[in-house]
Structure 1
Amino acid sequence: MPSPETSFVIVSYVSEATPDLERWLIYHLSLGVEKVIVYQPPRLFRQPSDMAVFENAGRVLRRPSQIDVGAPLKSAIVSAMSEQDFSDDTLMVALNVGEYLSIGAGFRPVAREVAELSAPFAAWALPLLKPQDASILEAGEQGDMEFRTIFRAGAFRGHNGERPVVALNEQDCLWLNGAGRKIDPDRAFWRPAEEVPDDALGLVIKFSEDVDPLLFDEDSRGALTLAYADRQIAQGVSEDQLRALGRAGTARANVPNPPCASHDRPETPKATQPPESVGADAQYCPEWYREIGPGGTVPGFFRRLDHHSLVFIRRPSDTLVITFDNLSAVNDLSPQRGPWAYKVLRQEGCAHLGVLAHRKDWFREPNLIAALVEMRDQGVFKAYTNVILSGTSMGGFAALAFSSLCPGARVLSFSPQSTLDEEIVPWETRFGMGRMRNWRLPFSDAAFEIEGAEQVIVVSDPYFKLDQWHVDRLTTPNVIKLKAWFSGHFSPVFLHRADLLKPVMTKMIRGTLTEDAFYQLYRDRRKLPWYKRSLEETLVQKGHKELASRVGPAFRRAKTATK
């Protein structure tokens, strides 16, 4: 059985320089990984190393790849198992750069998390969560998913790149799945319908520029992992810091824990369990309900539809803000769930109509459309001097598309789609669940619905082509296009991490969000590690590797200058 002091080693293969390498290394070293063994093609191994500071600190070992068994990661792990002398209890895993271990309910040392499993194991198969696997994970099937496997070095003789093979003692070779439960290794990978909980105890999250927005919501497990990594890299990468990183007595700054792991989760959702006492009642009562409920001071209502909900908080104000959920909120079953942007709108004292989504349908639902049209016909929207619609991605589409219900309204839309009608945007290859919805319903093409709005402000990354093609369809004179350079599809998350989202929302509410005001705020983007990585990746993709190599030093100089 591994102990909390067991050595943990990652093996990887790096064939070219990548902007994510430094963050990926620091993230895993901070979690107690003792060493990362990196295999490279001989031509790259002979060049100056991008990992020199890690090598000097004794935390990275670079090796030339001499074995070619058809797949780079397989070649690397086979080489490591044949060349290196590991103790039998050493824990190992083969990962590509960009694949992040996520184990347990926080960011404690990996070996300690493993040591607390209820059963000793020889191998622990962790699902590799990628964009195309999101629907598989939700459906609870893993037959077609890839895996990465943590295993004891002394238990196996070989590896196929995904899992260890040739157990030294078949009878003593216990396998666990992502939930930490015992499984039959013969069924673990090629038999369908193995259960994979939404929040598996252990999984590997693969981050890339085309990752599904679900993983990057600020409260999701993927986003918390990324935020933790950013905090680690922000604290420095000197040789002395790297020597101590992740080892006893060298704790660094943390971030809030991700949602509870599956083994800690009650069998039924909290929302269905009655509170045991009056004190517990507050735990299950969302903040917005305290405002409009029997004990509240603000009129309003909650209305549950088939696949959506409406929360209307009639705070005394001449400004109404209508917000729409994005993809990441769809699977949130917590009792405390609230409308998008609830906190900032409460602080500003605005009336708030929140449209909550319970499936990924881009608000293509006749009952919802009828409910919003009914509110228009009843004069609800006309009662306010200022009406603002806002949302991001799927919610950004809705903010644009439903703006025609409120002529003269203003819109703030982050990284939106203009439509998912395949006849209009045949080039859109994302969001399969959205594209299959009924795009013959009203309010289906934002490009035509925004004509009556007073002002439409769209925030997006001009270098993210798919998003930009949608933005290019918005051609009416009332459209202001603000460029969130190098934020990818996640402009509001980018702004949030730079502490800019709240000021942007506040200026929009107060009517002071102009191009000059936005770009003055946006100058602080240079402090954000995400901006640095995105800039490097863009330059590399465009063939400007020399320019990309200058970004890191410039970034550090900028940070030093602001201290």
Structure 2
Amino acid sequence: MADQELLYDLQLEGLDANAWLARVEEICGEIGYCELLGNHHLAMQIDAGPRLFVSFENIPSARKFNPEAAPRGWLLARDRGWSCLTILSKDPENWFRDPAIYAFFDRLIDDGYFDEFEDVLFYGAGGAGYAAAAYSVSAPEARVLALRPQATLDPARAPWDRRFMAQRRKDFTSRFGYAPMMLETASQAWIVHDPMVPEDAMHATLFEAPNTTLLRTPHLGLTPERDLSLMRVLDDMIDEAMDGTLDAASFAGYWRARQGHLPYLRTLFHMLEEDGRDRLLAKLCRFVLRDTNRPLFAKKLAQIEARGADATTMSQSEDA
């Protein structure tokens, strides 16, 4: 089909912000549908197969980090034959709290849009993860994969999260407001979070429910979408979430990819170095140096060995 050929030739890489947006609107006009939602958001729809991927993304991150500088849903529409609905924010930090978005989803509900699909998966990370959970109530029995989502930024419910002060002034108490409550109609939900980030861990506990699985990524930090993508496991996780087969056991297999992910290993390195845990640090350095020559790890290992630290006597329970 001509539409599929167009999807294979997105031509979005290397464009500045204005040219990127113009190209996106051009593609939408040819193979899908595009609608402005107020001054800060854009809805893009491509109808293909019987499975629908609903993603919330921001334009700066999509341009900088996504493969081919494309909305993630478009790549899945091309590679999996899924339909996709993408809600794009023009702002890098956005929780999609806009009456124009409420009205858009109200219209989709009234039109029975989500009823046309066999499977529906809502997806997002950070503020977009919040939005994926919150707006999933529009499609009862949908599935939700949210990376590092906030449950709410309402100061009355989350007074302990003061990281996003400008966003806290927005209304999180009206339509589609409290994300854990909106998830009650989902058939399955997965919340990926780093329990070592106190605020993220507290948000995750608010999502605890029979239909929700909490997936822990200790020490992965604040950019799980980027890191899981670089580990080459994010697309597989999305596939399993769409199928409804993602669980703690399958995620454990994906999470093992961190052992070859240098940013994660550097995070562990600096944490162990700061804590003065020489034996564990030496073991980490040896692990990294088995497969590659990394001067940072080699230099530190030499320093530890020169001090006479015995890294070989560690118990298995001390493994990083």
> TM-score range with shorter-chain normalisation?
0.7 to 0.9
Q: Does 1:536 align with 2:269?
A: yes
Indicate the residue corresponding to 2:10 in structure 1: none
CA distance in 1 between partners of 2:130 and 2:199 (Å)? 14
Paired residue type of 2:108: M
Q: Deviations over 1:239-277 (max 9, x none)?
A: xxxxxxxxxxxxxxxxxxx979xxxx8xx94479xxxxx
| Contact 1:313–1:352, Cα closer than 8 Å, also in 2 | yes
Q: Deviations over 1:445-497 (max 9, x none)?
A: 11211111100011121222221111011121111111223211111111111
* Aligned-residue RMSD, C-alpha: 2.8
CA distance in 2 between partners of 1:330 and 1:510 (Å)? 25
CA distance in 1 between partners of 2:172 and 2:244 (Å)? 33
Figure out how many residues of one structure are paired with residues of the other and give that number: 276
Indicate the residue corresponding to 1:465 in structure 2: 198
Indicate the residue corresponding to 1:440 in structure 2: 173
Paired residue type of 2:79: Q
Matches within 5 A, 1:354-365: 354-359=86-91, 360-365=93-98
Indicate the residue corresponding to 2:256 in structure 1: 523
Paired residue secondary structure (2:185): coil
| Contact 1:309–1:356, Cα closer than 8 Å, also in 2 | yes
| Contact 1:310–1:353, Cα closer than 8 Å, also in 2 | yes
Paired residue secondary structure (2:124): strand
Once the two structures are TM-superposed, the CA of residue 327 in structure 1 deviates from its matched residue by: 7.9
Q: Does 1:399 align with 2:132?
A: yes
| Contact 1:327–1:394, Cα closer than 8 Å, also in 2 | no
Indicate the residue corresponding to 1:319 in structure 2: 51
CA distance in 2 between partners of 1:428 and 1:541 (Å)? 25
Paired residue secondary structure (2:192): strand
Indicate the residue corresponding to 1:184 in structure 2: none
CA distance in 1 between partners of 2:214 and 2:175 (Å)? 25
Matches within 5 A, 1:415-426: 415-426=148-159
Paired residue type of 1:304: L
Q: Which has the larger radius of gyration?
A: 1
CA distance in 2 between partners of 1:557 and 1:400 (Å)? 41
| Contact 1:326–1:393, Cα closer than 8 Å, also in 2 | no
Once the two structures are TM-superposed, the CA of residue 428 in structure 1 deviates from its matched residue by: 0.7
| Contact 1:330–1:357, Cα closer than 8 Å, also in 2 | no
Select the residue among 418, 427, 436 that pairs with 2:160.
427
| Contact 1:456–1:479, Cα closer than 8 Å, also in 2 | yes
Q: Does 1:343 align with 2:75?
A: yes
Once the two structures are TM-superposed, the CA of residue 439 in structure 1 deviates from its matched residue by: 2.0
CA distance in 2 between partners of 1:460 and 1:439 (Å)? 21
Indicate the residue corresponding to 1:164 in structure 2: none
Indicate the residue corresponding to 1:166 in structure 2: none
| Contact 2:208–2:214, Cα closer than 8 Å, also in 1 | no
Indicate the residue corresponding to 1:449 in structure 2: 182
Paired residue secondary structure (1:309): strand
Structure with the larger helix share? 2
Paired residue type of 1:434: Q
Once the two structures are TM-superposed, the CA of residue 412 in structure 1 deviates from its matched residue by: 0.5
| Contact 2:63–2:69, Cα closer than 8 Å, also in 1 | no
Select the residue among 302, 305, 310 that pairs with 2:43.
310
CA distance in 2 between partners of 1:337 and 1:302 (Å)? 18
Paired residue type of 1:353: L
Indicate the residue corresponding to 1:507 in structure 2: 240
Indicate the residue corresponding to 1:125 in structure 2: none
Indicate the residue corresponding to 1:382 in structure 2: 115
Q: Deviations over 1:138-161 (max 9, x none)?
A: xxxxxxxxxxxxxxxxxxxxxxxx
Q: Does 1:285 align with 2:23?
A: yes
| Contact 1:400–1:450, Cα closer than 8 Å, also in 2 | yes
| Contact 2:193–2:200, Cα closer than 8 Å, also in 1 | yes
Matches within 5 A, 1:4-15: none
Paired residue secondary structure (2:184): coil
Name the TM-score, length of structure 1 as normaliser.
Answer: 0.45
Once the two structures are TM-superposed, the CA of residue 293 in structure 1 deviates from its matched residue by: 3.0
Once the two structures are TM-superposed, the CA of residue 550 in structure 1 deviates from its matched residue by: 2.9
CA distance in 1 between partners of 2:199 and 2:184 (Å)? 23
Once the two structures are TM-superposed, the CA of residue 406 in structure 1 deviates from its matched residue by: 1.0
Distance 1:483 1:533, change over 3 A: same
| Contact 1:340–1:391, Cα closer than 8 Å, also in 2 | no
Q: Does 1:481 align with 2:214?
A: yes
Matches within 5 A, 1:91-170: none
Distance 1:271 1:408, change over 3 A: closer
Once the two structures are TM-superposed, the CA of residue 376 in structure 1 deviates from its matched residue by: 1.0
| Contact 2:120–2:242, Cα closer than 8 Å, also in 1 | no
Once the two structures are TM-superposed, the CA of residue 391 in structure 1 deviates from its matched residue by: 0.5
What are the ranges of 5 or more consecutive residues in structure 1 without an aligned counterpart? 1-257, 273-283
Distance 1:419 1:326, change over 3 A: farther
Paired residue secondary structure (2:240): helix
Once the two structures are TM-superposed, the CA of residue 328 in structure 1 deviates from its matched residue by: 4.2
Query: Which runs of at least 4 in structure 1 moved beyond 4 Å after TM superposition?
Result: 540-543
Select the residue among 143, 146, 151 that pairs with 1:413.
146
Distance 1:304 1:417, change over 3 A: same
Query: Bigger relative contact order, structure 1 or 2, given CA contacts below 8 A and separation 6+?
Result: 2
Select the residue among 106, 114, 120 that pairs with 1:373.
106
Paired residue secondary structure (1:441): coil
Q: Deviations over 1:210-251 (max 9, x none)?
A: xxxxxxxxxxxxxxxxxxxxxxxxxxxxxxxxxxxxxxxxxx
Matches within 5 A, 1:232-271: 269-270=18-19
Paired residue secondary structure (1:486): coil
Once the two structures are TM-superposed, the CA of residue 326 in structure 1 deviates from its matched residue by: 4.3
Paired residue secondary structure (2:290): helix
CA distance in 2 between partners of 1:415 and 1:455 (Å)? 17
CA distance in 2 between partners of 1:289 and 1:510 (Å)? 32
Paired residue type of 1:293: G
Q: Deviations over 1:153-204 (max 9, x none)?
A: xxxxxxxxxxxxxxxxxxxxxxxxxxxxxxxxxxxxxxxxxxxxxxxxxxxx
Once the two structures are TM-superposed, the CA of residue 318 in structure 1 deviates from its matched residue by: 1.6
Once the two structures are TM-superposed, the CA of residue 372 in structure 1 deviates from its matched residue by: 0.9
CA distance in 1 between partners of 2:240 and 2:26 (Å)? 27
Paired residue secondary structure (1:481): strand
CA distance in 2 between partners of 1:478 and 1:558 (Å)? 40
